[in-house]
Structure 1
Amino acid sequence: MTDVTPEPSRPAAPDLTIRSTRVYRGPNVWSYEQAIHLVVDLGVLEEYPTSKLPGFTDRLLELLPGIEGHTCSRGHRGGFVERLREGTWLGHVAEHVALQLQQEAGHDMRRGKTRAVKGETGLYNLIYGFIDERVGLAAGELAVRLVNHLVQAEDDFDFADALETFLTRAGRTAFGPSTAAIIEEAVSRDIPWTRLNEYSLVQLGQGVHAQRIRATMTSQTSALAVDIAGDKNLTTRLLGSAGLPVPKAETVRTVDGAVSAARRVGYPVVVKPLDGNHGRGVCLNLQSDDDVREAFPIAEGQSRRGVVQVESFITGKDYRCLIIGGRMAAIAERVPAHVIGDGEHTVSELVDITNADPRRGVGHEKVLTRIKVDDAAIELVREQGFAMDEVPPKDRMVKLALTGNMSTGGISVDRTFDAHPDNIEIAEEAARMIGLDVAGIDFICPDITAPVRETGGAICEVNAAPGFRMHTHPTVGEPQFIAKPVVDLLFPPGAASRVPIVAVTGTNGKTTTSRMIAHIMKGLGRKVGMTSTDGIVIDERLVIKADASGPRSARMVLQNPRVDFAIMEVARGGILREGLGYDRNDIAVVTNIQADHLGMRGVDSLEDLASVKSVVVEAVPRDGFAVLNADDPLVRQMRRRCSGTIVWFSMEPPGSAVREFIDERCRRGARAVVLEPSDRGEMIVLKQGRRSMPLAWTHLLPSTFGGAARMNVANALAAAGAAFAAGAPLHDIRQGLRTFDTSYYLSPGRLNRVELNNAEVFVDYCHNPPGMERLGEFVEGYVKARQGASETRISRIGMIGAAGDRRDEDIRELARIAARHFDVLVIREDDNLRRRAPGEAAALLVEGAKQAQSDGARVRVIDTVLNELDAVRNAVLRSNPGDLVMLCVDQHAKVLHELEAFSHKAQAGSRFSDDQPGDPDLDPTELAAEAESAMEQDDLELREALESSASE
């Protein structure tokens, strides 16, 4: 009996699907560069690696043979094929297919990785690089469909058709040869670029250094010069007035006018649209009045203004001279669209054979354009003695167009080093006369190697925005690297293209730190662009009011032409959503890593959060800096992810373990910002190597409220470290910190102080437990400093709220901490409940506060007022002169407006409330009990006084 090995079972229905899609447009948690992130579900295919799918690998290689070149983790060509035959999961296969599809479209992408989703069976993270976002996304979708098809054939799926559709789409979104050449040159010089629309409008550089291009038009291209070049009659007259060789020409609007002009000019003539381009509507070598009458409507149809130019016909070859910045950059001979007879094929067949050249495409999508057979081409072939279905003799050239434009199917021959110097001088002078920085001068002459003035010939056109592909991809000859002089024109050697970027991240303190850095740099005369949770600020003007701590806001700042220094507040959400909005930051600042936003988007622990925040540290180049909080162990560990120099900052006193860590590194040349205590107070000291440079007393910085606001002391250390790394002089750093306060003008929503009814009211954005810890420390220190040796009782009234997307326990913890520092807590809710029911978050806060109260916390009164402005009124009305009110707000602008209204009432001498209790921070029952106790005490003191008097 013969044993038969059963065929491996196949999945009944492949169901590889895309669960979610993200596009990272900068450094991110997965890659140092932009990438696409697909979360895919393998479904039943989780049980079927490629080794269990007979024939899968062979069919894949048959459809996409380029995959044979993938190295994968093996590090050598064919490494991925080895993995396929050994057995790898289909999510990994989809990643490589997406990369190969992009390569088929001409996008050389090789970066990718596939990782299992933590805690989820069958779910995988697919990450792969891209050049064009739309092409990358389409590649991912087609890759998933192809993998499913290879597992089990899909009846209505034809991969060849799908690939053709994909490539066509990629061709439509791709840059043309001219734009692509300039961008490639810019990238080689480390000049950043940004696509500004779906077409060819591109920004090179950042901020104040930015330049724009659209194809070969640049920021320096004169609009007036473009208009002049578009008017062929005016161009001819200007060039003629400069003594340059030009044909005789007249402009006309009617057929009869064209005939009369042709007679005056003298036959043969050329009839062409006055403001046309790409050779459209140009009729050459017209020998008679009848020819002119036939040509006129053709030229008129391509003229935007209906004006036609009649000029003398210059015989010779067609040359395009490219002038950049007034200097000749390249010359190409343009040969009209044609076919060469082989003695076997008809003219039509020869056209099809020529168009089959992979270098030919539609329009400007490829280096050559397909020859179009229209009525004019058929007539031209007939004039040469052939019909389209006739076989021309071997080696016979049959023209299908009269003009040599590439857009009509012509070819180019490089003649850059063949031109006579006199001809080069004429072309350069023509560009200068018109005023174009990039100009295409069309020469018609017998031979470009001989002087035009001697052999005859003329300049027939001057073109703005000339195409580069005839020079970068000549059909015959060596390509010319003409993008270099264009980029030289925009960014001369040694010119800056980037603005310094400071990225500030952390759980708490990043907004205030960003503002401190901006204030210091503003004092240096810099035009600072800043993103923060409050909006986008350009040179101290709030231009967009929104949470602008994400990558899109960063790109908006870098596109602003006034910005010469950028400060980006980088939040966790933006990094997870899109990555950074730029390719690198010169300075990264990490304030701290504390419990906030945990349990969201796969960030479940402090270590996960630190990994996300460290993206800004990884984006520091070798000549950059990372300003790290040495007091935070998770931040301290980020030094291993930094390619640049570390600047430490610490609040720890000398002799502590952290200070020993810092001092040991400073002895080896590192930089640090630390506190040095003395009998006069704490001094902020900058350390570099063995040098120590005193900067400022902490109690003299307005933002620290005499040193009580310890969180702002830490923020000042971080800001000083970043400004020092940015090259700011010490006295400017010192001046910046001494003049930065927490007024609403400089730091809206961050410890803003308002005096109201002789009570001190503070407005702050505190919204998480670690922030409340710091705020509570401030309240304790500030009240202690105010009271001094006085017995005056200062009541503390706090208003708190919590974001609804935080964990229940985090919301309770926020209230528990607040209960330890305030006598009265007014509980409110944000306008945006973040998917919680009304009152749900407030109930959790009340629960946490009552837990703390039962454990002996300070709080005595807990009140719930859900509306924020109503809660503000409640808290303020509870205050007596001398009390401290801390308002932890969501909409700080509205709250400050409400407080201003209260202030106006106070100035008018009116009471806030007619029935305001005498000690409004207590319940009425407690007030009554205190009043009764006070009366009993008064009676006791009176009796004791009387008894004492009687005994005397």
Structure 2
Amino acid sequence: MAETAGGSESGAAGAAGAPRVVVIKESRVYRGPNYYSYEPAVHLVVDIQGLEESPTDLLPGFTEALLAILPGLHDHQCSRGHDGGFVERLLEGTWAGHVAEHVALELQRTAGHEITRGKTRSTGARGVYNVIYGYLDETVAMLAGRLAVRLVNDLVSRSDGTPPPDPDFDFEAEHESFLRTSQRVAFGPSTQAILEEAITRDIPWQRLNSGSLVQLGHGVHQRRIRATMTSITGSLAVDIASDKELTNRLLAAAGLPVPASEVVTSADEAVRQAHRIGFPVVVKPLDGNHGRGVAINLTTDDEVRAAFELAADESRRGYVLVESFITGKDYRVLVIGGNMVAIAERVPAHVIGDGIKSVTELVDETNADPRRGVGHEKVLTRILVNDAAVELVRAQGYEMTDVPPRGEMVKLALTGNMSTGGISIDRTFEAHPDNVDIAEEAARVVGLDIAGIDFLCPDITQPVRETGGAICEVNAAPGFRMHTHPTIGDPQYVAKPVVDLMFPPGSDSRIPIVAVTGTNGKTTTSRMIATIFKGIGRKVGMTSTDGVVIDDRLVIRADASGPKSARMVLQNPRVDFAVFEVARGGILREGLGYTSNDVAVVLNVAPDHLGLRGIDSVEQLAKVKQVIVEAVPKLGSAVLNADDELVANMRRACAGEIVWFSVKPNNRMIADHCRRGGKAVVLEPGELGDLIVLVHGRRRMPLAYTHLLPVTFGGKAMFNVQNAMAAAAAAYCAGAHLHDIRAGLRSFTPSYYSAPGRMNLTEVRGVKVIVDYCHNAPAMVALGDFVDRFFEDAPAMERPQRIGVIATAGDRRDQDMVDLGYQAAKHFDIMVVREDERLRGRKSGETAALIVQGAEAAQAEGARVKEIGVVLDEIESTRVAVERANPGDLVVICVDRARAVWDELQAIGKTAQAGAADE
């Protein structure tokens, strides 16, 4: 079930006097594959403080008290692999963080959420642990985690005999509140049944609101449900079903048996119609549901008047229906897609006398049934004793304190609704065929794809037309619980035909997803892939640091490389192909946000963003980026950079096929891979230039010469050569034809308007200016290589200057900033060092000083740089760099606000043109 790494080795030498309580320092919810787990999970960072020195075997009475409160912990296997494994760990001694994990899992279990996934690991800091556990509903899981910590702290204080940290803590009351909240926010049994069926078919889903509105499928294939209403359900049919009088008239016109009925708006009118129809009668709201406000078997004027008031309160429009009372048993016939799929006999909430116990005691005994819970949390609902129940018992000749005779049934509700404590008996295979035909015809008359037909008749096994009986209601969005979890009889798998309606066998529910990650080059590669599939005619949804693009239209301008943006694309009903740029920040913050990607592309892993969110080494960073590789299914592909050792090692984490790309010739690993029928994209030098070749087994398929691709600047930008190779491999894996791949790569240009901030080249006053987001040392090495190649074709007598505007974000480590300056100094004659507008916790000038420090160190070693200046403002540094340049020089601006810098460059150019015209 779960594992723990135990206490840290420094535990025995912990600080004396530290508080003996567990504190939640940080909490996160992962909504998809993540750094810690492939499944959705909650992550709590807890500090157990003084309890680091007190595992559970040193806490007197702790284990016994915990197991008495939550006996279900006996079933937890933990790392032992057998029931009782966690109890063994408690007795041997385990730490409070591990206990909190298991308690959180068990609390979810008490709410009906069967989850067993969890683990607890030390963060490396003394007493601080990562507690990871799975969930079905994130709100329930977070509440469970907080309640688990409070319970552990309370039990520790009892063990120590010290004052509890929360004197008002009452676990029973808190647990009851937790269960009620869980029932309110979690999916009901009907929605859950449909989702479980969808999951078994690998149909993805996502919740769209805090209620039961759920999307099944992605993009163009999506369908929606709200409980048991689907996107196929007609609104007109729902309106008809909610109007009981209209429903009765339509059914009667079709020759179906229905009770006589009339709509009334006053108590006096209800009495008159009751006399006209003939007693006994039923009074109920015209547009009610769940049996609320329904009174049956009324035989007097006073009963009708009282029932009218009750029904009117439950009616949304104030209309009340009076109809003839049909004697017999209450049956619910479930019709889906025009076919009967289940029948349940509904028995109202009741108790059976034993001649010993009172009615109250019998109710308590019935509610003690472990199958009964609050609301819909379990298969049965606890019987609620309210004023109406007391009056009903009194009408049967008993008080709540009376002892009914043995075998006597005492009803506590008039209707057989499960939500009021009723029970159900499965009668699916007992119904007479005529009755089944009547129910199916009723659903067709109303027009519902999913309908609950309420039959009242003496016996469902006999024809209703002969024995008497009628259809008393046709319900839209009928509940499934009575069919999926009958009290007596076999469960019926009614969710299957619902999912069949929305996704007929053989239909698609997913759209292809290509995920791209790496330290550098993610956005450019994502845009290349999107361009290829746009050329094929696909409606591409793309996320990147530039924003969310739907079918070539920028709908959100923001850093959209996280899971929320991915879900936004998957919700769009136009999208039939998705390309996601996946940044390490989103993975650490929330996970991927989706379950799997058909193609994962990992470009490179280099030191960047280290020291943030617990990622302190490049190896840990590689594990974060590896998440998209782990999310590749068996029939998917991972496109990996064979030239990067950290990326190449990710092959072991992929369940699908591996596709390599490499710019280095004669790679033995790739040769062996292709000899076995594998795929790779390689670079082959030739007389006409470097050729990108797609290799699939023995087949070698030329794609394009690098110098013919605009994004490579004549083959000089080797990092974009790599990006183009990765894009080609991803497109091939996703089903693109070679012709389409070639066309897409040749049409993709690094202009500001197609890829803002990615190697955008313009000319200002005769000076060539490149705008790029380069912000770390590895990117500067690649960019510097391009700068060195940029003038290789120029005449030897010309010595154009290279001017660089250099900066990085303030949340990088000091050493990363120094390294950036050191690398930049190797390639530029003049460096203008600036800072971003957002300093991210740094003081003004601090980031620039570290970059200058690195540049000066390189300069002292004989690097190319001759002049280093500091101009902190981004726009002002742009002006300074352009002014220092002469015609024919190259200025490279490492930007933060690409649009503002581009606009400034265009303004400088227009000013220069205007000045030239005046002369």
Name the TM tier (shorter chain). over 0.9
Partner of 1:212: 224
Partner of 1:30: 36
Deviation at 1:874?
2.1
Aligned equivalents of 2:886, 2:401: Cα separation in 1: 103
Partner of 2:442: 430
Partner of 1:887: 893
Partner of 1:834: 840
Larger deviation, residues 464-473 vs 405-414: 405-414
For the Cα contact (< 8 Å) 2:183–2:374, is it kept in 1? no
1:585 aligns with 2:597: yes
Partner of 1:305: 317
Deviation at 1:898?
2.1
Unaligned runs of 5+ in 1: 1-9, 915-952
Larger deviation, residues 353-362 vs 586-595: 353-362
Partner of 2:755: 747
Aligned equivalents of 2:396, 2:57: Cα separation in 1: 63
Counterpart mapping for 1:303-702 below 5 A: 303-653=315-665, 655=666, 659-702=667-710
Aligned equivalents of 2:105, 2:804: Cα separation in 1: 56
The counterpart of 2:806, out of the listed 800, 808, 817, is 800
Deviation at 1:793?
4.0
Aligned equivalents of 2:302, 2:412: Cα separation in 1: 22
User: Which whole-Å deviations, capped at 9, do the CAs of 1:183-214 have from their partners, x for residues lacking one?
Assistant: 22122222222222222222222222222222
Partner of 1:860: 866
Aligned equivalents of 2:761, 2:715: Cα separation in 1: 15
User: Which whole-Å deviations, capped at 9, do the CAs of 1:532-591 have from their partners, x for residues lacking one?
Assistant: 111222222222222121222222222222222222211122222222212222211110
Cα distance change on mapping 1:331 and 1:164 into 2, 3 Å: same
Aligned equivalents of 2:408, 2:375: Cα separation in 1: 27
Specify the SS of the correspondent of 1:33: coil
Cα distance change on mapping 1:78 and 1:306 into 2, 3 Å: closer
Aligned equivalents of 1:775, 1:690: Cα separation in 2: 35
Aligned equivalents of 1:18, 1:650: Cα separation in 2: 46
Partner of 2:826: 820
Aligned equivalents of 2:716, 2:680: Cα separation in 1: 23
Specify the SS of the correspondent of 1:547: coil
Deviation at 1:456?
2.4
Cα distance change on mapping 1:62 and 1:365 into 2, 3 Å: closer
Specify the SS of the correspondent of 1:784: coil
For the Cα contact (< 8 Å) 2:183–2:376, is it kept in 1? no
Cα distance change on mapping 1:85 and 1:340 into 2, 3 Å: closer
Cα distance change on mapping 1:897 and 1:224 into 2, 3 Å: farther
Cα distance change on mapping 1:666 and 1:444 into 2, 3 Å: same
Specify the SS of the correspondent of 1:238: helix
The counterpart of 2:878, out of the listed 859, 869, 872, is 872
Deviation at 1:686?
0.4
1:133 aligns with 2:141: no
User: Which whole-Å deviations, capped at 9, do the CAs of 1:156-202 have from their partners, x for residues lacking one?
Assistant: 34444444444343333332211121122122222222222222222
Q: Runs of 4+ in structure 1 displaced over 6 angstroms?
A: none
Larger deviation, residues 89-98 vs 499-508: 89-98
Aligned equivalents of 1:803, 1:599: Cα separation in 2: 13
Deviation at 1:687?
0.4
User: Which whole-Å deviations, capped at 9, do the CAs of 1:331-388 have from their partners, x for residues lacking one?
Assistant: 1112223332222333343333333333334443433333344444444334433344
Deviation at 1:683?
1.0
Specify the SS of the correspondent of 2:732: helix
Specify the SS of the correspondent of 2:364: helix
Specify the SS of the correspondent of 1:152: helix
- Report the AA paired with residue 126 of structure 2: T
Specify the SS of the correspondent of 1:556: helix
Aligned equivalents of 2:917, 2:821: Cα separation in 1: 31
User: Which whole-Å deviations, capped at 9, do the CAs of 1:776-809 have from their partners, x for residues lacking one?
Assistant: 2212222223x2x363443322222111111223
Larger deviation, residues 345-354 vs 678-687: 345-354
Aligned equivalents of 1:602, 1:381: Cα separation in 2: 63
Partner of 2:181: 169
Specify the SS of the correspondent of 2:791: helix
For the Cα contact (< 8 Å) 1:905–1:911, is it kept in 2? no
Specify the SS of the correspondent of 2:677: coil
Aligned equivalents of 2:99, 2:420: Cα separation in 1: 42
- Report the AA paired with residue 848 of structure 1: G
The counterpart of 1:760, out of the listed 768, 771, 780, is 768
Aligned equivalents of 2:81, 2:198: Cα separation in 1: 30
Cα RMSD (Å): 2.4
Partner of 1:97: 103
Specify the SS of the correspondent of 1:93: helix
User: Which whole-Å deviations, capped at 9, do the CAs of 1:796-827 have from their partners, x for residues lacking one?
Assistant: 22222111111223212222322332233222
Aligned equivalents of 1:798, 1:190: Cα separation in 2: 51
Cα distance change on mapping 1:376 and 1:128 into 2, 3 Å: closer
Aligned equivalents of 2:310, 2:67: Cα separation in 1: 51
Name which one, 1 or 2, has greater alpha-carbon Rg: 1
- Report the AA paired with residue 885 of structure 2: S
Aligned equivalents of 2:845, 2:839: Cα separation in 1: 9
Specify the SS of the correspondent of 2:131: strand
Aligned equivalents of 2:94, 2:621: Cα separation in 1: 31
Partner of 1:848: 854
Specify the SS of the correspondent of 1:805: coil
Aligned equivalents of 1:834, 1:427: Cα separation in 2: 66
Counterpart mapping for 1:142-181 below 5 A: 142-153=147-158, 154-155=163-164, 156=167, 157-181=169-193
Larger deviation, residues 469-478 vs 128-137: 128-137
Aligned equivalents of 2:222, 2:505: Cα separation in 1: 15
User: Which whole-Å deviations, capped at 9, do the CAs of 1:39-69 have from their partners, x for residues lacking one?
Assistant: 2223222223334444444443333333333
Deviation at 1:910?
5.3
Partner of 2:11: none
Aligned equivalents of 1:64, 1:285: Cα separation in 2: 45
Partner of 1:897: 903
For the Cα contact (< 8 Å) 2:833–2:851, is it kept in 1? yes
- Report the AA paired with residue 38 of structure 2: Y
1:722 aligns with 2:730: yes
For the Cα contact (< 8 Å) 1:11–1:45, is it kept in 2? no
For the Cα contact (< 8 Å) 2:332–2:455, is it kept in 1? yes
Larger deviation, residues 149-158 vs 630-639: 149-158
Cα distance change on mapping 1:245 and 1:567 into 2, 3 Å: same
1:277 aligns with 2:289: yes
Specify the SS of the correspondent of 2:316: coil
Aligned equivalents of 2:99, 2:314: Cα separation in 1: 51
- Report the AA paired with residue 79 of structure 2: S
Partner of 1:247: 259
Deviation at 1:291?
4.2
Aligned equivalents of 2:65, 2:278: Cα separation in 1: 68
Deviation at 1:505?
1.0
Deviation at 1:768?
0.8
Specify the SS of the correspondent of 1:902: helix
Aligned equivalents of 2:155, 2:294: Cα separation in 1: 53
Aligned equivalents of 2:147, 2:300: Cα separation in 1: 58
Partner of 1:934: none
Give the structure-1-normalised TM-score: 0.90
Counterpart mapping for 1:218-233 below 5 A: 218-233=230-245
For the Cα contact (< 8 Å) 1:91–1:114, is it kept in 2? yes
Larger deviation, residues 823-832 vs 14-23: 14-23
Give the structure-2-normalised TM-score: 0.93
Aligned equivalents of 1:90, 1:272: Cα separation in 2: 55
Deviation at 1:702?
1.0
Aligned equivalents of 2:170, 2:253: Cα separation in 1: 63
Deviation at 1:80?
3.1
- Report the AA paired with residue 72 of structure 1: C
Partner of 1:922: none
